[in-house]
Amino acid sequence: MMIPDWLSVLLLSALPVTELRASLPLAVLYYGLDPVLATALALIGNAIPLALIFILFTPFLSWAKEHSVTLHRLIETHLKKLERTHGKKYHRWGALFLCVFVAVPLPGSGVWTASLLAVLFGMRPRLAVPAILLGMAVAAGIVVWASLYAHSF
């Protein structure tokens, strides 16, 4: 069974490594989707982990602590690394840091990481979610523009 192009874009946008940085060029350049439709699909797909992380990450961490020492240790190690790497910037700039962090479309600076940082630092969702969504929209614009026009330079 073949997965429809639109669904591929949506699902690829929800994955932690690819996010919309990979799904948008694929949608526009390979599948030939309209850039507006591709952007909408990528934004929806990329917003899925944002909601899931805010709702499920803390209960999942508690579950891992009780049921899998190895998994809990792995997660804690990753979270400590995130805190060392981004803690100062977050504490200085708050939601603005999350917005800019997501807006610059570089590997490791997407919605997954920003959402984890927001949960890790205890930021209220009413502050973090709009900042992350705005950064995601800016990143989408940059990636679509690059996909459409970068080859003309």
CB 50 within 8 Å of CB 76: no
Cite the DSSP H helix spans in the chain: 5-14, 19-25, 35-67, 69-93, 95-103, 111-120, 125-149
pLDDT digits (tens, 9 = 90+) for 18-66: 999 999 999 999 999 999 999 999 999 999 999 999 999 989 988 988 9
Average pLDDT, the chain: 93
Mean pLDDT of the 84-109 span: 91
What is the C-alpha to C-alpha distance for residues 138 and 32, in angstroms, rounded to an integer? 22
Reading phi first (left if > 0) and then psi (alpha if -120 to 50, else beta), residue 122 is in: left
Residue 12 has pLDDT above 90, yes or no: yes
The string over 47-63, giving b where at least 16 C-beta atoms fall within 10 Å of a residue's C-beta and e elsewhere, is bebbeebbeebeeebee
Q: What is the pLDDT of residue 74?
A: 92
For residue 153, pLDDT beyond 70: no
Compare 48 and 83 and report the one with higher pLDDT: 48
Q: Is the model more confident about 113 or about 153?
A: 113
Is the pLDDT score of 1 beyond 80? no
Distance, in Å, from the CA atom of 112 to the CA atom of 138, rounded to the nearest integer, reads 16
**pLDDT tens string 111-137:** 999 999 999 899 999 999 999 999 999
Beta-carbon contacts of residue 82 (< 8 Å; ≥ 6 apart) = 113, 116, 117, 120
